[in-house]
Amino acid sequence: MSFAVPEILRRYFDAQNAHDIDALVDCFAPDATVRDEGHTHVGTEAVRAWKQAASAKYRIHATPIESRVDGDRTIVVASVAGNFKGSPANLTYRFGLSHDGRISALEVG
């Protein structure tokens, strides 16, 4: 990424692209909330199950192309390629960060 994003988000995208579920889950706070494809997942075990299913189904690779801060959220637009109709597509990731710097909230759309 040639633009500034918090280190935790760099780790998130690196883990995503390596399909390293453990490293990805380590980016999240214990009570994190993820919203994706109309479903909400709360807590790291639910995040793990979400990412395992999504990784197996879509095998995505996400390349962040822009980032900005909007209030308490860091918004990252990424070019996402994988096993889905319309690939590649630009998706928007809205991240909230906890006090300890981990991801506390994520909305993918």
Count of C-beta atoms within a 10 Å radius of residue 79: 14
AA identity, residue 26: D
CB 52 within 8 A of CB 31: no
Report how far residue 40's alpha carbon sits from residue 8's, in angstroms, rounded to the nearest whole number: 21
Whether 61 shows a pLDDT value over 90: the answer reads yes
- pLDDT, tens digit (0-9, with 9 covering 90-100), for 2-55: 678 899 999 999 999 999 999 999 999 999 999 999 999 999 999 999 999 999
In a domain, 90, yes or no: yes
Q: Does any domain span residue 1?
A: no
Total domains in the fold of the chain: 1
pLDDT range class, residue 1, cuts 50, 70, 90: low
Separation CA 48–CA 77 (nearest Å):
22
Residue 61 lies in a domain: yes
CATH for 98: 3.10.450.50
Length of the chain, in residues: 109
Predicted TM-score (pTM) of this structure: 0.94
Q: What is the pLDDT of residue 2?
A: 60
